[in-house]
A and B are shown apart, each in its own frame.
Chain A
Amino acid sequence: MAATEARVARGSAGDGLVALAKGLTKRYPPAVTALTEVSFAVRPGEFVAVLGPSGAGKTTLFRCLTGLPRPDGGTVSISGRDIWESPRELSSARRALALIFQQFNLIRRLSALENVLVGRLAHVPTWRVVLRRFTRADRQLALRCLDTVGLVDRAYTRADELSGGQQQRVAIARALAQDAKIILADEPVASLDPESSATVLESLRSAVSTGVAVVASLHQVHLARAYADRIIALRDGRIVADAPASRLDARSIELIYEKNGERSQA
Protein backbone atom coordinates (compact mmCIF):
# COMPACT_ATOMS: atom_id res chain seq x y z
CA MET A 1 0.00 0.00 0.00
CA ALA A 2 2.81 2.40 0.95
CA ALA A 3 4.56 1.59 -2.33
CA THR A 4 1.42 2.48 -4.25
CA GLU A 5 1.07 5.77 -2.44
CA ALA A 6 4.67 6.65 -3.24
CA ARG A 7 4.18 5.84 -6.89
CA VAL A 8 0.96 7.82 -7.01
CA ALA A 9 2.58 10.79 -5.33
CA ARG A 10 5.21 10.93 -8.05
CA GLY A 11 2.58 10.49 -10.76
CA SER A 12 1.22 14.00 -10.96
CA ALA A 13 -0.43 15.34 -14.08
CA GLY A 14 1.37 15.24 -17.41
CA ASP A 15 4.20 12.87 -16.55
CA GLY A 16 3.16 10.26 -19.10
CA LEU A 17 0.79 8.17 -16.98
CA VAL A 18 -2.22 6.99 -19.00
CA ALA A 19 -4.47 6.47 -16.02
CA LEU A 20 -4.28 7.58 -12.44
CA ALA A 21 -6.77 6.84 -9.69
CA LYS A 22 -6.34 8.67 -6.40
CA GLY A 23 -8.29 7.78 -3.28
CA LEU A 24 -11.27 6.43 -5.24
CA THR A 25 -14.25 5.77 -2.98
CA LYS A 26 -17.65 4.66 -4.17
CA ARG A 27 -20.60 3.95 -1.89
CA TYR A 28 -23.92 2.40 -2.80
CA PRO A 29 -26.27 3.56 -0.05
CA PRO A 30 -27.39 2.49 2.41
CA ALA A 31 -24.86 -0.15 3.42
CA VAL A 32 -22.42 -1.00 0.62
CA THR A 33 -19.04 0.60 0.16
CA ALA A 34 -17.82 -0.86 -3.13
CA LEU A 35 -14.47 0.93 -3.22
CA THR A 36 -12.45 2.45 -0.39
CA GLU A 37 -9.49 4.77 -1.06
CA VAL A 38 -8.31 2.96 -4.19
CA SER A 39 -5.17 4.48 -5.72
CA PHE A 40 -2.99 3.23 -8.55
CA ALA A 41 -1.31 4.39 -11.75
CA VAL A 42 -0.98 2.84 -15.19
CA ARG A 43 1.91 3.57 -17.57
CA PRO A 44 1.84 3.37 -21.38
CA GLY A 45 2.45 -0.12 -22.71
CA GLU A 46 1.72 -1.74 -19.37
CA PHE A 47 -0.55 -4.75 -18.91
CA VAL A 48 -2.21 -4.60 -15.50
CA ALA A 49 -4.35 -7.49 -14.28
CA VAL A 50 -6.94 -6.82 -11.58
CA LEU A 51 -7.64 -9.86 -9.44
CA GLY A 52 -10.12 -10.44 -6.70
CA PRO A 53 -13.08 -12.60 -5.71
CA SER A 54 -16.51 -11.65 -7.01
CA GLY A 55 -17.90 -8.72 -5.07
CA ALA A 56 -14.42 -7.32 -4.44
CA GLY A 57 -15.25 -4.17 -6.44
CA LYS A 58 -13.59 -4.96 -9.78
CA THR A 59 -16.59 -3.97 -11.89
CA THR A 60 -17.23 -0.81 -9.85
CA LEU A 61 -13.58 0.13 -10.33
CA PHE A 62 -13.87 -0.27 -14.12
CA ARG A 63 -17.08 1.71 -14.19
CA CYS A 64 -15.50 4.54 -12.21
CA LEU A 65 -12.56 4.62 -14.62
CA THR A 66 -14.98 5.13 -17.54
CA GLY A 67 -16.71 7.91 -15.61
CA LEU A 68 -20.04 6.13 -15.56
CA PRO A 69 -20.93 6.63 -11.91
CA ARG A 70 -19.23 9.60 -10.34
CA PRO A 71 -17.13 8.39 -7.41
CA ASP A 72 -18.04 9.69 -3.94
CA GLY A 73 -14.42 10.52 -3.28
CA GLY A 74 -11.10 10.67 -5.07
CA THR A 75 -10.16 11.50 -8.65
CA VAL A 76 -9.60 9.72 -11.94
CA SER A 77 -7.18 11.16 -14.47
CA ILE A 78 -6.75 9.88 -18.00
CA SER A 79 -3.60 11.08 -19.79
CA GLY A 80 -2.97 13.51 -16.95
CA ARG A 81 -6.38 15.27 -17.06
CA ASP A 82 -9.04 14.98 -14.36
CA ILE A 83 -12.10 13.51 -16.10
CA TRP A 84 -14.51 15.30 -13.77
CA GLU A 85 -13.08 18.74 -14.38
CA SER A 86 -15.56 19.47 -17.18
CA PRO A 87 -17.93 17.59 -19.52
CA ARG A 88 -15.39 18.16 -22.30
CA GLU A 89 -12.67 16.43 -20.31
CA LEU A 90 -15.03 13.53 -19.69
CA SER A 91 -15.83 13.03 -23.36
CA SER A 92 -12.20 13.35 -24.43
CA ALA A 93 -11.28 10.87 -21.69
CA ARG A 94 -13.89 8.48 -23.04
CA ARG A 95 -12.31 8.68 -26.48
CA ALA A 96 -8.94 7.83 -24.93
CA LEU A 97 -10.47 4.73 -23.29
CA ALA A 98 -11.43 1.62 -25.18
CA LEU A 99 -13.66 -0.98 -23.59
CA ILE A 100 -13.57 -4.75 -24.01
CA PHE A 101 -16.64 -6.60 -22.77
CA GLN A 102 -17.15 -10.13 -21.51
CA GLN A 103 -19.75 -10.69 -24.24
CA PHE A 104 -17.61 -9.11 -27.05
CA ASN A 105 -20.51 -6.91 -28.25
CA LEU A 106 -19.77 -7.06 -31.95
CA ILE A 107 -22.42 -6.15 -34.49
CA ARG A 108 -23.48 -9.62 -35.59
CA ARG A 109 -24.36 -8.95 -39.21
CA LEU A 110 -21.26 -6.91 -40.05
CA SER A 111 -17.89 -8.33 -41.11
CA ALA A 112 -14.88 -8.39 -38.80
CA LEU A 113 -13.38 -5.45 -40.72
CA GLU A 114 -16.60 -3.40 -40.45
CA ASN A 115 -16.65 -4.10 -36.72
CA VAL A 116 -13.08 -2.88 -36.35
CA LEU A 117 -14.08 0.28 -38.23
CA VAL A 118 -16.53 0.99 -35.36
CA GLY A 119 -13.38 2.17 -33.60
CA ARG A 120 -13.07 4.92 -36.26
CA LEU A 121 -16.64 6.24 -35.90
CA ALA A 122 -15.69 9.08 -33.58
CA HIS A 123 -12.86 10.13 -35.91
CA VAL A 124 -14.71 10.45 -39.23
CA PRO A 125 -17.44 12.83 -40.48
CA THR A 126 -21.05 11.71 -40.07
CA TRP A 127 -21.78 11.47 -43.80
CA ARG A 128 -18.99 8.92 -44.21
CA VAL A 129 -20.49 6.81 -41.42
CA VAL A 130 -24.02 7.00 -42.86
CA LEU A 131 -22.83 6.06 -46.36
CA ARG A 132 -20.25 3.56 -45.02
CA ARG A 133 -17.53 5.24 -47.11
CA PHE A 134 -14.39 5.04 -45.02
CA THR A 135 -11.13 6.43 -46.35
CA ARG A 136 -8.46 4.10 -47.65
CA ALA A 137 -6.27 5.14 -44.70
CA ASP A 138 -8.97 4.11 -42.19
CA ARG A 139 -9.53 0.78 -43.92
CA GLN A 140 -5.80 0.08 -43.96
CA LEU A 141 -5.52 1.00 -40.31
CA ALA A 142 -8.38 -1.38 -39.51
CA LEU A 143 -6.66 -4.17 -41.44
CA ARG A 144 -3.41 -3.52 -39.56
CA CYS A 145 -5.32 -3.76 -36.26
CA LEU A 146 -6.79 -7.10 -37.39
CA ASP A 147 -3.27 -8.18 -38.30
CA THR A 148 -2.07 -7.32 -34.79
CA VAL A 149 -4.60 -9.74 -33.30
CA GLY A 150 -3.82 -12.33 -36.00
CA LEU A 151 -7.17 -12.24 -37.79
CA VAL A 152 -6.45 -10.39 -41.01
CA ASP A 153 -7.50 -13.47 -42.99
CA ARG A 154 -10.98 -13.31 -41.46
CA ALA A 155 -11.52 -9.62 -42.31
CA TYR A 156 -14.56 -10.30 -44.49
CA THR A 157 -16.15 -12.98 -42.31
CA ARG A 158 -19.39 -12.03 -40.60
CA ALA A 159 -18.95 -11.50 -36.86
CA ASP A 160 -21.56 -14.10 -35.93
CA GLU A 161 -19.65 -16.73 -37.92
CA LEU A 162 -16.50 -16.28 -35.80
CA SER A 163 -15.72 -18.29 -32.66
CA GLY A 164 -15.98 -16.59 -29.26
CA GLY A 165 -12.24 -16.15 -28.98
CA GLN A 166 -12.03 -14.72 -32.50
CA GLN A 167 -14.87 -12.30 -31.72
CA GLN A 168 -13.03 -11.09 -28.64
CA ARG A 169 -9.88 -10.55 -30.72
CA VAL A 170 -11.91 -8.50 -33.23
CA ALA A 171 -13.09 -6.46 -30.23
CA ILE A 172 -9.43 -5.88 -29.29
CA ALA A 173 -8.71 -4.78 -32.87
CA ARG A 174 -11.71 -2.41 -32.59
CA ALA A 175 -10.15 -0.93 -29.44
CA LEU A 176 -6.81 -0.51 -31.25
CA ALA A 177 -8.52 1.19 -34.20
CA GLN A 178 -10.04 3.66 -31.76
CA ASP A 179 -6.51 4.95 -31.15
CA ALA A 180 -7.10 4.73 -27.41
CA LYS A 181 -4.42 5.24 -24.81
CA ILE A 182 -5.80 2.56 -22.52
CA ILE A 183 -7.91 -0.54 -23.01
CA LEU A 184 -10.18 -1.50 -20.12
CA ALA A 185 -11.21 -5.14 -20.30
CA ASP A 186 -13.73 -6.30 -17.69
CA GLU A 187 -13.51 -10.11 -17.56
CA PRO A 188 -12.44 -10.45 -21.21
CA VAL A 189 -12.01 -14.23 -21.07
CA ALA A 190 -14.66 -15.21 -18.52
CA SER A 191 -16.90 -16.81 -21.15
CA LEU A 192 -14.16 -18.51 -23.17
CA ASP A 193 -12.54 -21.93 -23.10
CA PRO A 194 -8.87 -22.14 -21.96
CA GLU A 195 -7.43 -22.28 -25.48
CA SER A 196 -9.40 -19.24 -26.69
CA SER A 197 -8.56 -17.42 -23.45
CA ALA A 198 -4.87 -17.88 -24.22
CA THR A 199 -5.16 -16.50 -27.77
CA VAL A 200 -7.21 -13.52 -26.52
CA LEU A 201 -4.65 -12.70 -23.83
CA GLU A 202 -1.87 -13.06 -26.40
CA SER A 203 -3.74 -10.55 -28.56
CA LEU A 204 -3.90 -8.20 -25.59
CA ARG A 205 -0.14 -8.63 -25.21
CA SER A 206 0.29 -7.73 -28.90
CA ALA A 207 -1.87 -4.67 -28.26
CA VAL A 208 0.38 -3.68 -25.37
CA SER A 209 3.41 -3.97 -27.66
CA THR A 210 1.94 -1.17 -29.80
CA GLY A 211 2.20 1.15 -26.78
CA VAL A 212 -1.35 1.08 -25.47
CA ALA A 213 -1.93 0.20 -21.81
CA VAL A 214 -4.26 -2.63 -20.82
CA VAL A 215 -6.15 -3.01 -17.55
CA ALA A 216 -7.97 -6.34 -17.45
CA SER A 217 -9.88 -8.00 -14.67
CA LEU A 218 -9.30 -11.72 -14.60
CA HIS A 219 -10.43 -14.38 -12.21
CA GLN A 220 -7.77 -16.96 -13.01
CA VAL A 221 -4.56 -16.29 -11.15
CA HIS A 222 -2.34 -18.31 -13.47
CA LEU A 223 -3.49 -16.28 -16.49
CA ALA A 224 -2.74 -13.04 -14.69
CA ARG A 225 0.73 -14.30 -13.78
CA ALA A 226 1.42 -15.53 -17.32
CA TYR A 227 0.29 -12.47 -19.27
CA ALA A 228 0.25 -9.37 -17.05
CA ASP A 229 3.16 -7.10 -16.16
CA ARG A 230 1.59 -6.10 -12.90
CA ILE A 231 -1.12 -7.48 -10.67
CA ILE A 232 -3.46 -5.42 -8.52
CA ALA A 233 -5.47 -7.45 -6.04
CA LEU A 234 -8.74 -6.13 -4.65
CA ARG A 235 -10.59 -7.42 -1.64
CA ASP A 236 -13.67 -5.85 -0.09
CA GLY A 237 -13.14 -2.71 -2.15
CA ARG A 238 -9.54 -2.14 -1.06
CA ILE A 239 -6.24 -2.76 -2.83
CA VAL A 240 -4.48 -5.50 -0.88
CA ALA A 241 -1.59 -6.04 -3.28
CA ASP A 242 -0.02 -4.12 -6.15
CA ALA A 243 3.18 -5.64 -7.49
CA PRO A 244 4.94 -6.84 -10.64
CA ALA A 245 3.44 -10.17 -11.71
CA SER A 246 6.79 -11.91 -11.29
CA ARG A 247 7.15 -10.77 -7.67
CA LEU A 248 3.69 -11.83 -6.51
CA ASP A 249 4.00 -15.49 -5.67
CA ALA A 250 1.12 -17.93 -5.86
CA ARG A 251 0.84 -18.19 -2.07
CA SER A 252 0.32 -14.52 -1.41
CA ILE A 253 -2.35 -14.42 -4.09
CA GLU A 254 -4.11 -17.40 -2.59
CA LEU A 255 -4.24 -15.56 0.70
CA ILE A 256 -6.35 -12.86 -0.93
CA TYR A 257 -8.98 -15.40 -1.79
CA GLU A 258 -8.76 -17.50 1.34
CA LYS A 259 -9.32 -14.65 3.75
CA ASN A 260 -12.55 -13.96 1.95
CA GLY A 261 -13.76 -17.47 2.67
CA GLU A 262 -13.35 -18.50 -0.97
CA ARG A 263 -10.67 -20.48 -2.72
CA SER A 264 -9.37 -19.64 -6.15
CA GLN A 265 -10.05 -22.37 -8.70
CA ALA A 266 -6.76 -21.69 -10.45
Chain B
Amino acid sequence: MATVAGGAGDYPERSRHRLRFVLILTLVAVFYSASWQLAQVDPPRLLVGLPKMAGWAAKAWPPATDELPVLLRRTAETIAMAAIGTTVAALLALPLCVLAARNVTPSMALYYPARWFLNALRGVDSFVFALLFVAAVGLGPFAGVLGIALHTWGSTAKLWAEAIENIPPGPLEAAAATGASRLKVVAYALFPDVAPSLVSVGLFWWEFNVRASTVLGVLGVVGVGGIGQELKNSMDLLLFPRLLTIILLILGTVTVIDHTSEWLRRKLE
Protein backbone atom coordinates (compact mmCIF):
# COMPACT_ATOMS: atom_id res chain seq x y z
CA MET B 1 0.00 0.00 0.00
CA ALA B 2 2.84 2.29 0.91
CA THR B 3 4.38 1.84 -2.57
CA VAL B 4 1.34 3.19 -4.42
CA ALA B 5 0.74 6.03 -2.01
CA GLY B 6 2.44 8.49 -4.38
CA GLY B 7 0.29 7.39 -7.30
CA ALA B 8 -2.89 7.38 -5.23
CA GLY B 9 -2.16 11.01 -4.37
CA ASP B 10 -2.58 11.88 -8.06
CA TYR B 11 -5.99 10.28 -8.47
CA PRO B 12 -8.22 12.95 -6.90
CA GLU B 13 -6.35 15.52 -9.02
CA ARG B 14 -7.00 13.63 -12.25
CA SER B 15 -10.64 12.89 -11.54
CA ARG B 16 -11.21 16.56 -10.71
CA HIS B 17 -9.79 17.43 -14.13
CA ARG B 18 -12.07 14.91 -15.82
CA LEU B 19 -15.09 16.22 -13.92
CA ARG B 20 -14.35 19.73 -15.04
CA PHE B 21 -13.96 18.62 -18.63
CA VAL B 22 -17.36 16.87 -18.60
CA LEU B 23 -18.96 19.89 -16.98
CA ILE B 24 -17.59 22.28 -19.62
CA LEU B 25 -18.67 19.91 -22.40
CA THR B 26 -22.21 19.79 -20.97
CA LEU B 27 -22.41 23.55 -20.68
CA VAL B 28 -21.25 24.03 -24.27
CA ALA B 29 -23.79 21.45 -25.49
CA VAL B 30 -26.60 23.13 -23.55
CA PHE B 31 -25.59 26.53 -24.91
CA TYR B 32 -25.65 25.37 -28.54
CA SER B 33 -28.86 23.38 -28.33
CA ALA B 34 -30.61 26.32 -26.64
CA SER B 35 -29.27 28.68 -29.30
CA TRP B 36 -30.43 26.31 -32.04
CA GLN B 37 -33.94 26.39 -30.57
CA LEU B 38 -34.01 30.15 -29.99
CA ALA B 39 -32.73 30.95 -33.49
CA GLN B 40 -35.39 28.60 -34.91
CA VAL B 41 -32.89 26.92 -37.21
CA ASP B 42 -34.79 24.67 -39.63
CA PRO B 43 -32.65 23.18 -42.46
CA PRO B 44 -35.54 21.30 -44.17
CA ARG B 45 -37.31 24.59 -44.67
CA LEU B 46 -34.20 25.93 -46.42
CA LEU B 47 -34.14 22.92 -48.74
CA VAL B 48 -37.82 23.48 -49.66
CA GLY B 49 -37.34 27.23 -50.08
CA LEU B 50 -34.15 27.20 -52.15
CA PRO B 51 -35.87 26.43 -55.49
CA LYS B 52 -38.21 29.37 -54.87
CA MET B 53 -35.20 31.62 -54.42
CA ALA B 54 -33.63 30.22 -57.59
CA GLY B 55 -36.89 31.08 -59.38
CA TRP B 56 -36.57 34.68 -58.20
CA ALA B 57 -32.98 34.79 -59.34
CA ALA B 58 -34.02 33.50 -62.81
CA LYS B 59 -36.72 36.15 -63.05
CA ALA B 60 -34.18 38.86 -62.11
CA TRP B 61 -32.25 38.48 -65.37
CA PRO B 62 -31.63 40.80 -67.19
CA PRO B 63 -31.12 43.62 -64.68
CA ALA B 64 -33.39 46.63 -65.20
CA THR B 65 -31.64 49.71 -66.57
CA ASP B 66 -34.54 52.11 -67.05
CA GLU B 67 -34.16 53.64 -63.56
CA LEU B 68 -30.38 53.72 -63.56
CA PRO B 69 -30.06 57.55 -63.11
CA VAL B 70 -32.28 57.45 -59.99
CA LEU B 71 -30.43 54.46 -58.58
CA LEU B 72 -27.03 56.09 -59.21
CA ARG B 73 -28.26 59.14 -57.35
CA ARG B 74 -29.33 56.94 -54.43
CA THR B 75 -25.91 55.26 -54.45
CA ALA B 76 -24.26 58.67 -54.34
CA GLU B 77 -26.51 59.53 -51.37
CA THR B 78 -25.24 56.48 -49.51
CA ILE B 79 -21.58 57.27 -50.23
CA ALA B 80 -22.12 60.91 -49.22
CA MET B 81 -23.79 59.88 -45.95
CA ALA B 82 -20.78 57.70 -45.13
CA ALA B 83 -18.27 60.38 -46.20
CA ILE B 84 -19.81 63.20 -44.17
CA GLY B 85 -20.50 60.96 -41.15
CA THR B 86 -16.94 59.58 -41.14
CA THR B 87 -15.34 63.00 -41.64
CA VAL B 88 -17.33 64.60 -38.82
CA ALA B 89 -16.44 61.63 -36.64
CA ALA B 90 -12.75 61.99 -37.48
CA LEU B 91 -12.72 65.70 -36.62
CA LEU B 92 -14.41 65.00 -33.28
CA ALA B 93 -12.11 62.04 -32.62
CA LEU B 94 -8.92 64.03 -33.09
CA PRO B 95 -8.92 65.88 -29.73
CA LEU B 96 -10.51 62.98 -27.88
CA CYS B 97 -7.98 60.35 -28.94
CA VAL B 98 -5.25 62.45 -27.30
CA LEU B 99 -7.18 62.50 -24.01
CA ALA B 100 -7.82 58.75 -24.27
CA ALA B 101 -4.21 57.72 -24.95
CA ARG B 102 -2.45 56.80 -21.73
CA ASN B 103 0.98 58.07 -22.84
CA VAL B 104 -0.06 61.59 -23.86
CA THR B 105 -3.22 62.36 -21.88
CA PRO B 106 -2.86 65.59 -19.90
CA SER B 107 -4.30 63.89 -16.82
CA MET B 108 -5.77 60.59 -15.67
CA ALA B 109 -8.81 62.60 -14.54
CA LEU B 110 -9.50 63.17 -18.24
CA TYR B 111 -8.28 59.80 -19.47
CA TYR B 112 -10.90 57.67 -17.72
CA PRO B 113 -13.96 59.80 -18.58
CA ALA B 114 -12.73 59.99 -22.18
CA ARG B 115 -12.42 56.20 -22.32
CA TRP B 116 -15.90 55.67 -20.82
CA PHE B 117 -17.46 58.18 -23.19
CA LEU B 118 -15.82 56.55 -26.23
CA ASN B 119 -16.87 53.07 -25.10
CA ALA B 120 -20.45 54.28 -24.71
CA LEU B 121 -20.43 55.72 -28.24
CA ARG B 122 -18.88 52.56 -29.60
CA GLY B 123 -21.34 50.35 -27.78
CA VAL B 124 -24.36 51.88 -29.52
CA ASP B 125 -24.74 50.96 -33.18
CA SER B 126 -25.08 53.60 -35.93
CA PHE B 127 -28.56 52.23 -36.59
CA VAL B 128 -29.76 52.87 -33.04
CA PHE B 129 -28.29 56.39 -33.02
CA ALA B 130 -29.96 57.08 -36.39
CA LEU B 131 -33.33 55.93 -34.98
CA LEU B 132 -32.93 58.31 -32.05
CA PHE B 133 -31.99 61.19 -34.34
CA VAL B 134 -35.08 60.72 -36.49
CA ALA B 135 -36.93 62.23 -33.54
CA ALA B 136 -34.70 65.31 -33.72
CA VAL B 137 -34.17 65.88 -37.44
CA GLY B 138 -36.93 63.80 -39.02
CA LEU B 139 -36.67 61.13 -41.69
CA GLY B 140 -33.93 61.40 -44.28
CA PRO B 141 -30.22 60.87 -44.85
CA PHE B 142 -29.25 63.47 -42.22
CA ALA B 143 -30.43 61.19 -39.41
CA GLY B 144 -28.22 58.51 -40.93
CA VAL B 145 -25.25 60.88 -41.07
CA LEU B 146 -25.64 61.70 -37.38
CA GLY B 147 -25.99 58.03 -36.44
CA ILE B 148 -22.86 57.09 -38.37
CA ALA B 149 -20.93 60.07 -37.02
CA LEU B 150 -21.59 59.23 -33.36
CA HIS B 151 -20.80 55.53 -33.57
CA THR B 152 -17.71 56.15 -35.73
CA TRP B 153 -16.53 58.89 -33.35
CA GLY B 154 -16.22 56.36 -30.55
CA SER B 155 -14.68 53.61 -32.68
CA THR B 156 -12.18 55.82 -34.49
CA ALA B 157 -11.01 57.66 -31.38
CA LYS B 158 -10.46 54.36 -29.55
CA LEU B 159 -8.39 52.87 -32.39
CA TRP B 160 -6.47 56.11 -32.77
CA ALA B 161 -5.73 56.22 -29.05
CA GLU B 162 -4.34 52.69 -29.35
CA ALA B 163 -2.17 53.75 -32.31
CA ILE B 164 -0.82 56.63 -30.22
CA GLU B 165 -0.11 54.33 -27.27
CA ASN B 166 1.95 52.08 -29.54
CA ILE B 167 4.46 54.65 -30.75
CA PRO B 168 7.95 54.66 -29.19
CA PRO B 169 8.10 57.06 -26.21
CA GLY B 170 11.66 58.31 -26.82
CA PRO B 171 11.03 61.05 -29.44
CA LEU B 172 8.16 62.46 -27.34
CA GLU B 173 10.33 62.52 -24.21
CA ALA B 174 13.08 64.23 -26.18
CA ALA B 175 10.70 66.90 -27.46
CA ALA B 176 9.17 67.42 -24.01
CA ALA B 177 12.67 67.68 -22.49
CA THR B 178 13.32 70.83 -24.55
CA GLY B 179 10.71 72.55 -22.36
CA ALA B 180 8.00 72.52 -25.06
CA SER B 181 4.37 72.43 -23.88
CA ARG B 182 2.30 69.27 -24.26
CA LEU B 183 0.22 70.75 -27.06
CA LYS B 184 3.37 71.57 -29.02
CA VAL B 185 4.80 68.11 -28.44
CA VAL B 186 1.58 66.44 -29.58
CA ALA B 187 1.22 68.66 -32.65
CA TYR B 188 4.85 68.57 -33.75
CA ALA B 189 6.35 65.30 -32.56
CA LEU B 190 3.39 62.95 -32.17
CA PHE B 191 1.18 63.55 -35.20
CA PRO B 192 3.80 63.00 -37.93
CA ASP B 193 4.58 59.66 -36.32
CA VAL B 194 0.99 58.43 -36.09
CA ALA B 195 -0.48 60.15 -39.17
CA PRO B 196 -0.25 57.09 -41.46
CA SER B 197 -2.06 54.84 -39.00
CA LEU B 198 -4.66 57.55 -38.29
CA VAL B 199 -5.43 57.92 -41.99
CA SER B 200 -5.50 54.17 -42.42
CA VAL B 201 -8.02 53.76 -39.60
CA GLY B 202 -10.11 56.63 -41.00
CA LEU B 203 -10.22 55.01 -44.45
CA PHE B 204 -11.23 51.70 -42.94
CA TRP B 205 -14.19 53.37 -41.20
CA TRP B 206 -15.24 55.16 -44.38
CA GLU B 207 -15.30 51.79 -46.15
CA PHE B 208 -17.18 50.25 -43.28
CA ASN B 209 -19.69 53.11 -43.19
CA VAL B 210 -20.53 52.82 -46.88
CA ARG B 211 -21.74 49.31 -46.09
CA ALA B 212 -23.34 50.46 -42.83
CA SER B 213 -25.31 53.24 -44.51
CA THR B 214 -26.55 50.77 -47.11
CA VAL B 215 -27.85 48.60 -44.29
CA LEU B 216 -29.42 51.64 -42.61
CA GLY B 217 -31.54 52.05 -45.75
CA VAL B 218 -32.41 48.35 -45.94
CA LEU B 219 -33.62 48.40 -42.35
CA GLY B 220 -36.08 50.95 -43.69
CA VAL B 221 -37.50 51.96 -40.36
CA VAL B 222 -35.17 54.92 -40.29
CA GLY B 223 -36.18 56.17 -43.74
CA VAL B 224 -32.66 57.41 -44.28
CA GLY B 225 -32.92 56.96 -48.04
CA GLY B 226 -29.92 55.94 -50.10
CA ILE B 227 -29.50 52.80 -52.15
CA GLY B 228 -30.48 50.57 -49.21
CA GLN B 229 -33.95 52.08 -49.17
CA GLU B 230 -34.35 51.30 -52.88
CA LEU B 231 -33.19 47.75 -52.22
CA LYS B 232 -35.92 47.29 -49.63
CA ASN B 233 -38.61 48.86 -51.83
CA SER B 234 -37.75 46.59 -54.77
CA MET B 235 -37.81 43.59 -52.45
CA ASP B 236 -41.21 44.52 -51.06
CA LEU B 237 -42.65 45.02 -54.56
CA LEU B 238 -40.94 41.89 -55.91
CA LEU B 239 -39.24 43.88 -58.69
CA PHE B 240 -36.45 41.37 -59.23
CA PRO B 241 -34.64 42.89 -62.25
CA ARG B 242 -34.49 46.21 -60.38
CA LEU B 243 -33.26 44.39 -57.28
CA LEU B 244 -30.45 42.79 -59.28
CA THR B 245 -29.37 46.19 -60.65
CA ILE B 246 -29.22 47.55 -57.12
CA ILE B 247 -27.21 44.60 -55.80
CA LEU B 248 -24.74 44.98 -58.68
CA LEU B 249 -24.45 48.71 -57.94
CA ILE B 250 -23.73 48.04 -54.26
CA LEU B 251 -21.15 45.37 -55.09
CA GLY B 252 -19.48 47.68 -57.61
CA THR B 253 -19.37 50.61 -55.16
CA VAL B 254 -17.99 48.58 -52.29
CA THR B 255 -15.34 47.01 -54.52
CA VAL B 256 -14.20 50.36 -55.91
CA ILE B 257 -14.04 51.91 -52.43
CA ASP B 258 -12.19 48.93 -50.99
CA HIS B 259 -9.58 49.13 -53.73
CA THR B 260 -9.24 52.90 -53.52
CA SER B 261 -8.67 52.90 -49.79
CA GLU B 262 -6.31 49.94 -50.01
CA TRP B 263 -4.31 51.79 -52.67
CA LEU B 264 -4.24 54.95 -50.55
CA ARG B 265 -3.13 53.02 -47.49
CA ARG B 266 -0.32 51.34 -49.42
CA LYS B 267 0.85 54.75 -50.67
CA LEU B 268 1.07 55.97 -47.07
CA GLU B 269 3.41 53.21 -45.89
The answer for the CA separation of A99 and B178 in the assembled complex, in Å, is 8
Question: SS class of chain A's interface: helix, strand, loop or mixed?
Answer: mixed
Check if A94 sits within 8 Å of B192, measured CB to CB: no
Check if B173 sits within 8 Å of A105, measured CB to CB: yes
* B3 CB–A CB distance under 8 Å: no
Kindly name the residue among A97, A98, A122 whose own CB sees the greatest number of chain B CB atoms within 10 A: A122
A 202-232 binary contact with B (CB < 8 Å = 1; else 0): 0000000000000000000000000000000
Check if B179 sits within 8 Å of A91, measured CB to CB: yes
The answer for the CA separation of A121 and B187 in the assembled complex, in Å, is 11
Check if A108 sits within 8 Å of B180, measured CB to CB: no
The answer for the CA separation of A122 and B187 in the assembled complex, in Å, is 13
The answer for the CA separation of A103 and B110 in the assembled complex, in Å, is 31
B 208-238 binary contact with A (CB < 8 Å = 1; else 0): 0000000000000000000000000000000
| Pick from A105, A110, A178: contact of B170, CB under 8 Å | A105
The answer for the CA separation of A66 and B176 in the assembled complex, in Å, is 12
| Pick from B174, B178, B184, B195: contact of A126, CB under 8 Å | B184
B 152-193 binary contact with A (CB < 8 Å = 1; else 0): 000000000000000000110111011111011101110011
Check if B175 sits within 8 Å of A126, measured CB to CB: no
CB distance from A141 to the nearest CB of B (A): 14
Check if A130 sits within 8 Å of B187, measured CB to CB: yes
Q: Tell me how many residues of B have a C-beta within 8 Å of chain A.
A: 19
Cβ contacts under 8 Å, A104 to chain B: 170
| Pick from A101, A103, A109, A178: contact of B178, CB under 8 Å | A178
The answer for the CA separation of A118 and B170 in the assembled complex, in Å, is 13
CB distance from A110 to the nearest CB of B (A): 5
Check if B171 sits within 8 Å of A107, measured CB to CB: yes
Check if A95 sits within 8 Å of B178, measured CB to CB: yes
Check if B187 sits within 8 Å of A118, measured CB to CB: no
CB proximity to B under 8 Å, residues A125-182: 126, 129-130, 132, 171, 174, 178
Check if B170 sits within 8 Å of A129, measured CB to CB: no
Given contact pairs A103-B170, A105-B173, A106-B171, A119 touches B178 in the complex (Cβ within 8 A)? yes
The answer for the CA separation of A98 and B193 in the assembled complex, in Å, is 22
The answer for the CA separation of A82 and B180 in the assembled complex, in Å, is 21
Given contact pairs A107-B171, A132-B188, A126 touches B177 in the complex (Cβ within 8 A)? no
Given contact pairs A101-B170, A105-B174, A109-B193, A129 touches B179 in the complex (Cβ within 8 A)? no
Cβ contacts under 8 Å, A121 to chain B: 175, 178-180, 184-185, 188
The answer for the CA separation of A76 and B173 in the assembled complex, in Å, is 22
Given contact pairs A130-B187, A132-B188, A108 touches B171 in the complex (Cβ within 8 A)? yes
5 A-B pairs in the complex with CB atoms less than 8 angstroms apart: A107-B171, A107-B175, A107-B188, A126-B187, A129-B184
B interface with A by C-beta (< 8 Å): 170-171, 173-175, 177-181, 183-185, 187-189, 192-193, 195
A interface with B by C-beta (< 8 Å): 66, 91, 94-95, 97-99, 101, 103-110, 118-119, 121-122, 126, 129-130, 132, 171, 174, 178
